[in-house]
């Protein structure tokens, strides 16, 4: 029998009647410390300022003052924020309690994976039974999940393997943690062997099949990843993580429209999934489909206002997209964005990087609205504030950088536009879609010649990156050069560097070095080149040169 007397409970419920019922039920089970919150803000305050809670019971619909003021926050927002900001450890039991039965709401919460989802009306026996089951599991796995939370993946991996040697009903949970740790440690081949072994014992286990697909993806074996994901989705249609990964596979394999269609299909089931709206925006902008990008942004803010998952770059990105279609409609949408920022995100008393980013996003929105309304003086004032903010604390997020570049182009500031474009090109070297976006934006702003110069500079910078390895090769230090190329290829994932690394390995093997690890590395690089740029003559050339060693591998 579970002893609840030593645990700390938090009940988050706007209904006084239900709040009392939950409290009395917990006390009836033997609980003594039961804190209560009537709203999202109240709950967040208690989570941040009280002793850590062992159990949180949270209503999904929090129809309190925030709802009436037009600033609704609910149980999903609370769980998102707790997870995103790591306010509660994995060992804390979080159970959603609600009368909501609509598919969209249940699906949205299920994606967040609370420890349980209880439908009202409840009985004390059901509450006790489900809570006991969830808590027993959390206690058993706490030594592992605490290490995982601390990002000690090696320690978690070792502890999970030790745990498996004991007789435990949570063996599959340990196996799952082992796979996650291996992936976090980038031990992709070990992870692949692990998931393969798990599937030998549990052939239909969805998370293991997804894990195997993830390792195929990490190893650039995209066809195998796609086949496994498609079969998984047929049997588990609501397994959204499988849809997400399959979407990325389609995109890498050269089917961006299939990728976007799949992402939209899952969004129709859970429109509150902000990261998927963001992906649709990105894919739309890469093919210059401004209308689809705007629609995705509108849906993102309609369903996500107040969510901690909305980033400053989302606000600035939508603002600069609206900047391209000035007028009353754009101005009204920008006013809504500014209101949402001030209601939920802009904190003037905070000097964190996140708060500064949201304040900068508000300046971008204010500039865009002033420009859309044709108020040049006001726009100049906001642009000066943006420049001042950038000088004081430059932003590192590339989404925000792109927005600042668009604003600089709109303001006719060639120096600022070129400075930002240069930084983004360095980060995305080899990404043709991003390069095309930057060139397109600068050409539309009359800065096409600057864009071409920056592309040339970017190529020179990449050559400089290779210079050390090339210099070693010229000095006759073939082996040192090879390992330098391998290091660069694994860090940058740039096709040109990958080719150089593959070529260096072939030359080393031709010199008589026998190394199965190098052969496997060569095979991996060839797969990368075939999957990303099969039509490139250099890919075909490398395939011919590497063929004898690939057969050996």
Q: Name the 3-class secondary structure at 54.
A: coil
Which of 253, 284, 311 is where one domain is finished? 253
Tell me how far apart the alpha carbons of residues 10 and 309 are, in angstroms, rounded to a whole number.
23
Do 88 and 56 form a contact (C-beta atoms < 8 A)?
yes
Give the domain-ending residue among 253, 284, 307. 253
Q: Which of 254, 250, 262, 333 is nearest to 298 (CA)?
A: 333
Query: pTM of the entire structure?
Result: 0.75
The pLDDT value given to residue 67? 46
In a domain, 545, yes or no: yes
Residue 404 is assigned to a structural domain of this protein: no
- CATH of residue 228: 1.25.40.10
Q: Which residue range is the domain that position 196 belongs to? A: 151-253
Residue 300 included in any domain: no
Evaluate whether 404 touches 395 at the Cβ level (below 8 Å). Answer: yes
Place of tokens 């959204």: 240
- Domain assignment present for residue 130? The answer is yes
Q: Are residues 171 and 129 in the same domain?
A: no
Structure-token match 């003052």, residue found: 65
State the total domains in the chain.
3
Q: Are residues 62 and 90 in the same domain?
A: yes
In a domain, 512, yes or no: yes
Short-list 194, 253, 187, 185, CA closest to 224: 253
170 belongs to a structural domain: yes
Q: Are residues 14 and 75 in the same domain?
A: yes
Tell me which residue has tokens 């009280």. 50
Which pair of tokens denotes residue 317? Answer: 């990105």
Residue 347: the pLDDT is 77
- 546 close to 518: Cβ distance less than 8 angstroms: no
Say whether both 227 and 107 belong to one domain: no
Per-residue pLDDT of the chain (553 residues; tens, 9 = 90+): 678 999 999 999 888 899 999 999 999 999 999 999 988 888 888 998 888 899 999 988 775 544 444 455 778 788 888 887 888 998 999 998 887 666 556 666 666 778 888 888 888 899 999 999 999 999 999 999 999 998 899 999 999 999 999 888 999 999 999 999 998 887 889 999 999 999 999 998 999 999 999 999 988 889 999 999 999 998 887 788 899 999 999 988 888 899 999 999 888 888 888 889 999 998 998 888 999 999 999 999 988 888 888 888 999 999 999 998 888 999 999 999 999 999 888 876 777 878 888 999 999 999 999 999 999 999 999 999 998 888 776 665 678 888 998 999 999 988 888 888 887 776 666 667 778 888 888 888 888 888 888 877 777 766 666 677 777 777 777 788 888 888 878 776 666 778 888 888 888 888 777 788 888 888 888 887 776 666 566 777 788 788 777 755 5
The pLDDT score that the predictor gives to residue 430 is: 62
Distance separating alpha carbons of residues 354 and 85, to the nearest angstrom: 12
Specify whether 115 is located in the same domain as 178. no
Structure tokens at 121: 């009306």
> What ranges in 305-375 are assigned the alpha helix state H?
312-323, 328-340, 353-372
Whether residue 468 contacts residue 480, with contact meaning beta carbons closer than 8 Å, is answered with: no
- Shared domain check, 71 and 13: yes
Q: Chain centroid to CA 222: how far?
A: 20
Q: Which two tokens stand for residue 238?
A: 């609501």
Does 167 share its domain with 234?
A: yes
């Amino acid at each position: 029998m579970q002893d609840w007397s030593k645990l700390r409970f938090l009940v988050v419920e706007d209904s006084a009647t239900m709040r009392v019922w939950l409290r009395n039920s917990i006390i009836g089970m033997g609980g003594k410390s039961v804190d209560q919150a009537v709203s999202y803000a109240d709950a967040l305050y208690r989570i941040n300022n009280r002793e850590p809670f062992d159990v949180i019971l949270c209503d999904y619909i929090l129809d309190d003052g925030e709802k009436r003021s037009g600033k609704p926050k609910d149980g999903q927002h609370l769980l998102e924020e707790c997870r995103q900001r790591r306010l509660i450890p994995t060992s804390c039991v979080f159970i959603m309690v609600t009368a909501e039965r609509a598919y969209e709401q249940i699906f949205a919460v299920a994606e967040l994976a609370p420890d349980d989802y209880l439908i009202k009306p409840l009985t004390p026996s059901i509450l006790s039974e489900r809570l006991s089951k969830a808590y027993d599991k959390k206690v058993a796995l706490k030594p592992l999940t605490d290490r995982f939370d601390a990002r000690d993946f090696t320690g978690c991996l070792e502890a999970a393997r030790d745990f498996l040697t004991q007789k435990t009903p949570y063996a599959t949970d340990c196996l799952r943690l082992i796979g996650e740790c291996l992936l976090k440690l980038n031990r992709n081949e070990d992870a692949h062997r692990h998931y393969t072994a798990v599937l030998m014992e549990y052939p239909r286990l969805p998370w293991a099949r997804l894990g195997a697909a993830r390792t195929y993806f990490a190893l650039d074996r995209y066809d195998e990843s796609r086949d496994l994901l498609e079969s998984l989705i047929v049997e588990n249609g609501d397994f959204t993580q499988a849809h997400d990964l399959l979407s990325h596979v389609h995109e890498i394999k050269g089917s961006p429209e299939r990728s976007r269609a799949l992402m939209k299909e899952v969004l129709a089931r859970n429109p509150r999934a902000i990261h998927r709206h963001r992906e649709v925006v990105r894919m739309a902008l890469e093919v210059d489909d401004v209308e689809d990008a705007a629609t995705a942004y509108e849906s993102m803010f309609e369903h996500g206002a107040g969510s901690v998952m909305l980033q400053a770059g989302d606000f600035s990105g939508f603002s600069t997209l609206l900047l391209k279609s000035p007028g009353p409609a754009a101005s009204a949408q920008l006013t809504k964005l500014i209101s949402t920022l001030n209601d939920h995100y802009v904190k003037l008393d905070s000097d964190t990087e996140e708060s500064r980013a949201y304040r900068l996003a508000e300046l971008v929105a204010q500039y865009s609205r002033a420009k859309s309304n044709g108020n040049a003086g006001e726009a100049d004032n906001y642009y000066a504030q943006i420049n001042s903010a950038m000088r004081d604390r430059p932003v590192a997020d590339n989404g925000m950088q792109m927005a600042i570049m668009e604003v600089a182009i709109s303001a006719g500031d060639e120096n600022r536009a070129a400075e930002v474009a240069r930084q983004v090109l360095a980060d995305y070297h080899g990404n043709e879609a991003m390069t095309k976006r930057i060139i397109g934006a600068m050409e539309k702003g009359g800065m096409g010649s600057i864009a071409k110069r920056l592309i040339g500079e970017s190529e020179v910078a990449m050559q400089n990156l290779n210079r050390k390895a090339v210099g070693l090769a010229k000095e006759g230090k073939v082996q040192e050069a090879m390992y330098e190329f391998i290091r660069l290829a694994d860090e940058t994932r740039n096709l040109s560097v990958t080719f150089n690394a593959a070529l260096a390995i072939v030359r080393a093997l031709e010199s008589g070095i026998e190394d199965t690890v190098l052969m496997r590395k060569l095979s991996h690089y060839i797969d990368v080149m075939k999957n990303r740029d099969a039509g490139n003559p250099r890919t075909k050339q490398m395939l011919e040169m590497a063929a004898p060693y690939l057969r050996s591998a």
